[in-house]
Amino acid sequence: MLHSHTSKISCPGCGSIDIKIFYEIRQVPVHSVLLLNSRSEAENYPRGDIRLGFCQGCGFIFNTAFDPGVHEYSSRYEATQGYSPTFNAFHKNLAQTLIDRFDLHGKRIIEIGCGQGEFLSLLCELGGNTGIGFDPAYVPERSPVGQNERVSFIQDFYSEKYVSTGGDFVCCKMTLEHIPQVADFVGMVRRSVEQNLQATIFFQVPNARYVFGEIAFWDIYYEHCSYFSLGSLARLFARSGFEVIDLWKDYDDQYLMIAARPVSERPQNLFALPDDMSELAQEIDHFSAQYPHRLAAWRQKIAGFTGAGKKVVLWGGGSKAVAFLTTLGITTGEIAYAIDINPHKTGSFIAGTGQEIQSPQFLLAYRPDVVIVMNPVYCTEVRQALQQMGLYPEVMAVNSH
């Protein structure tokens, strides 16, 4: 259990030096979803350390050992969830909700970290908007619409040189958690709307309280260097010159959403925003005390499957699988395969531990005894897919106790 303090590190969210280190894991893969085309490349992929610090000034949680220089966000970066009916239904509903809530009709939309452009395309198609998406991992051939009169894409990180590319609605989904200097980044976004104080900003990030409350060690991986609660997210935006106009959770509470508008004066009392500091501190302490037991329980469970000669696969070949396997130290002799419905991942390998990623059809011949679903929200979808293939293995969610 780690409860050390350090005065050498300051919070990237508020500048406080009151940081408590509460979780440490060494030598994990620095990327989780790059397409790695050989087991050797996967097993020898570069590694880094995770050393999570909890800022007791604002509630922000971050990897104090993070090195942004090791990352490769390129066309090999394969993070889309767009092959899942469950996710696509969520995505379409979110797009329509934002269009209705903020009257996004005939507006100019900017998306930072747009991936392959699926969400930006939805916003533009459903609302009759125009949009520009920024992402170094964007692949033109993969875009659902390609470059057209409504949507265009720039294969680059959003940075100061694009601040003048203003929008009426600035969207940033599942990107801020990859950025170490969060206050600098949100400040840059604030400058981008300086000339349009009627603009709306929308961010979506993972919910730290879900991760630490569930003792979800599989949701802690190197690429995610920043973790937010509703309170710490709201305080960051308020401190950066925004008025928080909406704040909510979605996707079985796994995601946090914030909508904000630029204001000229900073709120007097940041803690009039959701004050979850004491609850978050308790959850951090609980996580710190309990995660070794969760690791031991999973190691014992998988050893039991192996000892009984059962074939186990993971469903989901992304970041959660990488974190689950590397944190537990699971070998290919214990779990040989991960399954993923994204056809671009078929035949690639899990970073760090080297399991091969296969399509669901692979299971017709392999016939697993146990399927561990890496995200509980997909359990129903996975069971239906297995049943359609005439397969009835034991299906368990990764958060099974």
Parallel, antiparallel or unpaired: strands 108-112 and 169-173 = parallel
Q: What CA–CA distance (Å, rounded) separates 139 from 76? A: 9
Check: CB of residue 99 under 8 Å from CB of residue 126: yes
Q: What CA–CA distance (Å, rounded) separates 175 from 206? A: 10
Q: What CA–CA distance (Å, rounded) separates 283 from 23? A: 13
- Burial of 150 (C-beta count, 10 Å sphere; 0-12/13-18/19+): middle
The two structure tokens encoding residue 265: 């004066």
235 φ/ψ angles, rounded to the nearest 5 degrees: -65, -35
Per-residue pLDDT of the chain (401 residues; tens, 9 = 90+): 455 554 479 999 999 999 999 999 999 999 876 788 899 998 999 999 999 999 999 999 999 999 987 766 555 555 566 678 888 888 899 999 999 999 999 999 999 999 889 999 999 999 999 999 999 888 877 665 555 678 999 999 999 999 888 899 999 999 999 999 999 999 999 999 988 889 999 999 999 999 999 999 999 999 999 999 999 999 999 999 999 999 999 998 999 999 999 997 765 555 456 788 999 999 999 999 999 999 999 999 999 999 999 999 999 998 999 999 999 999 999 999 999 998 888 999 999 999 999 999 999 999 999 999 999 999 999 999 999 999 999 999 998 86
Residue 163 CB neighbour total at 10 angstroms:
15
pTM listed for this prediction: 0.91
3-class DSSP assignment, residue 179: coil
Domains of the chain: 4-65 (2.20.25), 85-280 (3.40.50.150), 308-397 (3.40.50.720)
- Burial of 159 (C-beta count, 10 Å sphere; 0-12/13-18/19+): exposed
317 φ/ψ angles, rounded to the nearest 5 degrees: -105, 35
